Chain A
Amino acid sequence: MKYKAIDGLKYTKKHEWARQDGSTAVVGLCDYAQDKLGEIVFVELPEVGAAVEAGKSAAVIESVKAVADLYAPLSGTVTEVNEVLLDQPETINQDPYGEGWVFKVEITDQTEPEGLMDKEAYEEFLMKEEEA
């Protein structure tokens, strides 16, 4: 398995992850996505207090030759953003599931959106993506 996925997170088909903790969740980019993007040079973070909608773009991640939207896995209000990424965007490459977290949301819609996968389902999805 070339790309990592870890326990305790939910995953989207667009390679974002969410770690839910009661009414809040931490959101970030998956290992697969950071690898495909290449070395990340800039992150456009959402504003604290902004509303994000599941499936819509919440942040923009740039490498030298590519731009990718980070689509919110869950709907809610942004409570915190990872300011480390402003000076060290490469943290996402180095530790996508840990120090490279992007933002935190206060979840407004407790009904989980469709398409959120657990680790096993995501790993299966990843294998199919790689074969293509």
Chain B
Amino acid sequence: MGGKHYFPLTDQDRQEMLSVIGAASVEDLFKDIPESVRFKGELDLPPAMSEPETLKHLQELAGKNKHSQNMVSFLGAGIYDHFIPAVIKHVTGRSEFYTSYTPYQPEVSQGVLQAIFEYQTMICQLTGMDVANASMYDGGTAVTEGAIMGCGATRREKVLVSRSVSPFYRAVIKNYFHSRGLQLQEIPLRDGCTDREQLAEMLGDDVATVVLQQPNFFGMVENMNGLAELIHEQKAVFLVAADPISLGLLQTPAEYGADIVVGEGQCLGVPASFGGPVLGIMAAREKFVRQMPGRIAGETVDSEGNRGFVLTLQTREQHIRREKAASNICSNEALVALAASVYLAVMGPQGLREVAEQCLQKTAYAREQIMALKDYSLTFPGINFKEFAVTVPGDPTELNRKLLEQNILGGVDISSYYPELQNTMLFAFTEKRTRNEIDTLVTELEGWK
């Protein structure tokens, strides 16, 4: 039988226990399951394997994949190949952290609770917001629940989302909104950024939330000047999905008047892992704290005056508010948030700035080299942080297949998300990309077609 080493009960134990219970056999304990629904026979699952066999099987499956360690990756679109300091997995690998559950008994969960409190603080420091929660599932659900927060706060039902926001996020928002009858309107693009004039026209006193992304899906730094004023004039909520690494350098959303900041925290020391588990970041101005979903850790004292941390404002949450809760979220991405905290602690303000600067410089260098190629063009001129869209002279999938031969994972084909942008790809350049790697990519691009 498989997994025997996880079942400590011996046959003798079982006999003794049954006699205490007063049952003849374990079958007696399942008599309450009616015959009519009893499963007969054996479950149709593959035969159990021992640990070495299982490892071998999983290694074989993993071995069939190309990945960021055996390839040079220029993939982005929200998930990036950033440097992950070695320290992180030694912290998240401590089993007192990863085998614990939600800190409902705070006195024995001060480790997790203090880590959450520190994480919340660091997210506020990064974004300029007043409060942050302990995490959401990912950037897409964070944006969605943030947009819904705006609806709750304004008691309105319409949300404006720029087309320059990730199509993956917009798909999630669309789904959630369609389900509960909230309205979603997309703000058109102009030259790869949000069309500010259109946004001004679309604003009205029926708009709850305006959702923008910075840098946007095309890697461009948008002009956020004056937008907060326009949005607040209509008493709507300004939500920004921000790249956390970019906040090492870029203006904080607080500085340009945002009310809620969300984001994808995978770039903070978290492996790509095929898109999950990743990290939904959520932070907001103080006045929105009671509408904020998710867990929040707060500082307090015990009866002797010792400082400690607890989950607080729990009346917002499902286990208390039940059908009146703003969200049903229970389990979140706690361990991933821990990884992000360690990353931010390791990097500090200086390190984060250096990472951001390298992204900026390497992206600028790559952009210059690629723009010099005669068959390639920069889809949208502007300011790029760590990514830009390139119009390529042919089918992106064919190009990517060619790049694979050189152990390169080429850019993301975005034409299916933006039908007006055929043969367009997003290439990302993080601090991990070397000049050599970028030059090789450019050479390969040049040699294609």
B315: Cβ under 8 A from any A Cβ: yes
Chain B residue nearest to A41 (CB atoms) is B315
A interface: dominant SS = strand
Q: How far is the CB of A73 from chain B (nearest CB, A)?
A: 21
Q: How far is the CB of B304 from chain A (nearest CB, A)?
A: 19
Chain A CB within 10 Å — which of B290, B315, B321 has the most?
Answer: B315
A64: Cβ under 8 A from any B Cβ: yes
Interface string of B292-314 (1 = CB under 8 A from A): 00000000000000000000001
Interface string of B34-61 (1 = CB under 8 A from A): 0000000000000000000000000000
B324: Cβ under 8 A from any A Cβ: yes
A67: Cβ under 8 A from any B Cβ: yes
Query: How many residues on A have C-beta within 8 angstroms of the other chain's C-beta atoms?
Result: 7
Q: How far is the CB of B303 from chain A (nearest CB, A)?
A: 14
List residues of chain A with CB within 8 A of the CB of B314: 64-65
List residues of chain B with CB within 8 A of the CB of A62: 315
Taking CB atoms and an 8 Å cut-off, the chain A residues in 62-96 that contact chain B are 62-67
A122: Cβ under 8 A from any B Cβ: no
Taking CB atoms and an 8 Å cut-off, the chain B residues in 122-152 that contact chain A are none
Cα A62 to Cα B314 with chains together (Å): 10
Cα A64 to Cα B321 with chains together (Å): 12
A32: Cβ under 8 A from any B Cβ: no
Q: How far is the CB of A44 from chain B (nearest CB, A)?
A: 8
Cα A69 to Cα B242 with chains together (Å): 37
List residues of chain A with CB within 8 A of the CB of B315: 42, 62-67
List residues of chain B with CB within 8 A of the CB of A66: 315, 320
Cα A63 to Cα B324 with chains together (Å): 16
Cα A62 to Cα B321 with chains together (Å): 10
A sample of 12 more A-B contacts (CB under 8 A), given A66-B320, A67-B320, A67-B324, is A42-B290, A42-B315, A62-B315, A63-B315, A64-B314, A64-B315, A65-B314, A65-B315, A65-B320, A66-B315, A67-B315, A67-B321
Q: List 5 A-B contacts (CB under 8 A).
A: A63-B315, A64-B314, A64-B315, A65-B315, A67-B320
4 tightest A-B CB contacts, nearest first: A62-B315, A67-B315, A67-B321, A67-B320
